[in-house]
Every structure is written in C-alpha cells, then in structure tokens.
Amino acid sequence: MREIEDILIDYFEGEELSENDSSELEKWFRQKKGAEFVRVLESMRGGKALWEELERDAEAGMEMIKRKLKKTRRRRSLWYGGVAAAVLFLLCGLAFLFEEPVVNRSELPGSEVSQCCTLVKLKLDNGEVLPLHGDQVGEVIVKDSCMRIENDNNTLICTNEGSREKIGFNTISVPVGAEYRVVLPDGTKVYLNADSEFRFPEMFSGEKREVFLKGEGYFEVAKDSTKRFIVHVLNMDATVLGTAFNIKAYPEQDEVVTTLEEGRLQVNCEGCEGYDLEAGDQVVFNKLRGDAVKKQVTTFYYTSWKDGFYSFDGENLETIMAVLAKWYGLEVFYMGENLKKNKFSGRLKRYDDFLYLLNKFEETGNVEFIVKDNVITIKGKKRSGM
C-alpha cells in the first residue's frame, strides 16, 4: 500500500489518482485528525506557505487550504464531494493545533527549522569563530574601520567601510543539511550548498578578486572590467569578469564540475589545457585520471539547488544519492557496484521528505531502498519467479 504522503503529493501535483489511491485518500481524510493533516503539509506543493500561514493566522491558513483544494478540484475528475466535505470538516478543527505541539519539525532532516538551528560558522582572520543562525534578521556581527558584516536571514552581507594595509581572510563553513548565502564587498552573490567551506577577503584590492571554495557554490559575479574574479577550488581555477556559474568541488568526490549559466568563463585544470566556456558549457575534471571533458548541458539541472529544489534528468543513481546525502546527512551503501549506474529522473524540493523520491525510483527502476534512520542500503529487485 502506498504511503499517504505519496498520494497527497500526486494529488497536489495534478496527477490522476488510481481508484485505490482515491479510496485511501478519502478514508484518510475521514479518519485522521488535524495534527496528521498539518504533518503532511510539508510534503505538498505549497506546503511551506500553507504551514507559515497557519502558524501566523489559523483562520487565514484554513482559507488558503480551502482555495487550494477548490482550485485543484476543478482540474480533477476523481475528486468527489465526500472527500472535499471531509477536508473542510477537518479544517474546522485546526485551531486547537496551535495550543499544543503537533510536529517536532526540528527533528526532520533537511527541514527549514533544522536549517535555522544548524550551526553555520564564520571564522574571522583573527581566529575568532562566530555562530550564524538563519533566523537572525539584520544583525551586525562585525564592525571595524575596514569592514562591516551583517547576518540577515541566511545571508552574510559584507561591506567595505575603509581601507587596511594588510587584508585578512574570513571563512564561512556550512555543515551537512544547511545552506547559506554571502554577499561580498563588491556585490557578488555566492550561494553555498551543504557541506561547503568558502574563504573570502575582508575587502578586494589590486587587480584581482580571489576567493576559495571547497564544496559547492553558485556565483553571480558583479561586473568589474578592471578586476578579474578568480575562484580557486581543489585542482581547478575559474576566472571571470562578470558571469553566473556553478562549481561543485567536494574533496571526497572524484570530479570537479563547473557549469556556466551566463556570460563567459575561463577554466584552468591542474595538468590540463585551459577551457573557455560560453553559456551552457560544462567542464568535468576527473581528479583521479587528471583529465577534463567539456560539453554542452542544460544548466537548470546543475543550478536548481540554489532555488530550493533538486532536479535530475537521466542521472546515475550514485550521483543522485551523493547529492541527497549532503543535504539530508545520509550514509549510503550499495549491494553491488552495478546498482550505481542505474539512471533516474525526478525532482525534489530541498525541504521535502526524500523518501518520496526514493519511492518513485523504486516504482520505475530495478532497485530497492532499505532505510533505517539516516542509513540507506540499496539493493537490486528480485526477479519475479525467483
């Protein structure tokens, strides 16, 4: 039997439900209490907005859900009056949910509450380490004659306030299951993915703007024709004047992947020829072999993480699971090397339950996932008759 979260997700994504799924959905709405309904909001399209509205104003939140149900109902033939009536009946009792704890969202891996509580750290050049919390708003955490650093809603904003003879470097460390943004003194925006480290100067001077990345980052570089912007990552350097690109360079992974979304980019790999990239180009450098390959790609699949979701198109399972492991803090084991080469497509919001995507893979592929806490074991499906 399918999990109710899967059925609800299919429903809110506009997919047709089977007769069995429709029956299960009606039964669930009639039997479950409001707490269970709120628990699955985070699995739905628009669940985040619904949850926030419910917390802010229960009555307004209920109206949002009613409008969403009515809008979706017009598109579907399998949604009938009994279910809709049961939903509206259920919503009438939602007010009591805010008088007692319903869901401990901080325990959910990759949830937005856990993101706020996950400790991102900023290490200053003088060795001082400052904790950064995503729920801080407009808090100035560093201010001296040279610079000002403000922490505002998951974003570190750095501003020049003067000059300094010796320029130091600051380092922001983003752990597994978190994300953060940095606005550099020149206006360049850097989106940092989970398990990443970014080192940047207190201010830019001279003819170059140099930064250092370990992990994954998306860069929107402020244009400055007089100062090249250089990103140093492991065995590769990327040099630009003004552009938007993504670099994935985790030390434990064999490949360093640079994807150019906009503008022009020059990539130099250790021991390889240099590459000039145009929009849509990607360079994949293999650290073990010491070689690189340039190709054209759909950049969306490599940059969508910064917009809040992961999207895969015919990607091998090993790559997909490596991405999910970073965000959800997973350990992944394969019962056979050949399983890593299975290819899948799919999309997952960064704060959704990853089990939804794995269930989809099981339905369409020849693999099974055994999940215990944060450990996932992947095995091949048994053939029928064996």
Q: 177 and 135 in one domain?
A: yes
318 within a domain of the structure (yes/no): yes
Question: What SS3 class is residue 1?
Answer: coil
When comparing pLDDT for 376 and 29, which is higher?
A: 376
For residue 189, the model assigns a pLDDT of: 95
CA angle 33, 34, 35 (to 5 degrees): 95
- Domain at 335, CATH number: 3.55.50.30
Q: 223 and 290 in one domain?
A: yes
196 within a domain of the structure (yes/no): yes
Q: 324 and 274 in one domain?
A: no
Integer Cα distance of 28 and 26 in angstroms: 5
User: Chain centroid to CA 314: how far?
Assistant: 19
386 within a domain of the structure (yes/no): no
Q: What is the pLDDT of residues 326-343, one digit of tens each?
A: 999 899 999 988 999 999
Count of alpha carbons within 13 Å of 381, Cβ hemisphere only? Answer: 12
For residue 145, the model assigns a pLDDT of: 65
In this structure, the number of other CB atoms found within 10 A of the CB of residue 202 comes to 21
Domain end among 253, 271, 304: 304
- Domain at 249, CATH number: 2.60.120.1440
Find, among 122, 126, 125, the residue nearest to 155 by Cα. Answer: 122
Q: Does 307 have pLDDT greater than 80?
A: yes
The confidence band for 305, taking pLDDT boundaries of 50, 70 and 90, is: very high
Q: 85 and 21 in one domain?
A: yes
The confidence band for 70, taking pLDDT boundaries of 50, 70 and 90, is: very low
385 within a domain of the structure (yes/no): no
Domain end among 103, 137, 169: 103
Mean pLDDT of 274-298: 92
Q: 279 and 232 in one domain?
A: yes
Q: 253 and 242 in one domain?
A: yes
The confidence band for 38, taking pLDDT boundaries of 50, 70 and 90, is: very low
Q: 275 and 222 in one domain?
A: yes
Q: 252 and 312 in one domain?
A: no
Q: 161 and 122 in one domain?
A: yes
When comparing pLDDT for 384 and 299, which is higher?
A: 299
Mean pLDDT of 226-230: 90
Total count of domains within the chain: 4
Mean pLDDT of 204-230: 91
Q: Does 383 have pLDDT greater than 90?
A: no
The confidence band for 31, taking pLDDT boundaries of 50, 70 and 90, is: low
41 within a domain of the structure (yes/no): yes
Find, among 184, 118, 198, the residue nearest to 147 by Cα. Answer: 184
Of these ranges, 60-74, 168-182, 345-359, the one predicted with the greatest mean pLDDT is: 168-182
Q: 313 and 348 in one domain?
A: yes
Radius of gyration of the chain (CA): 24
Q: Does 255 have pLDDT greater than 80?
A: yes
Q: 229 and 194 in one domain?
A: no
372 within a domain of the structure (yes/no): yes
Asked which of 19-28, 224-233, 362-371 is least confident by mean pLDDT, the reply is 19-28
User: pLDDT exceeding 70 applies to what percent of the chain?
Assistant: 70
Q: 235 and 188 in one domain?
A: no
Domain end among 166, 188, 205: 205
DSSP type of residue 203: S
339 within a domain of the structure (yes/no): yes
Asked which of 76-90, 104-118, 143-157, 270-284 is least confident by mean pLDDT, the reply is 76-90
Mean pLDDT of 91-102: 38
109 within a domain of the structure (yes/no): no
User: pLDDT exceeding 90 applies to what percent of the chain?
Assistant: 38
Mean pLDDT of 65-80: 43
Residue 319 belongs to what domain range? 308-380
Q: What is the pLDDT of residues 122-159, one digit of tens each?
A: 999 888 999 887 777 777 888 876 788 999 888 999 98
DSSP type of residue 146: S
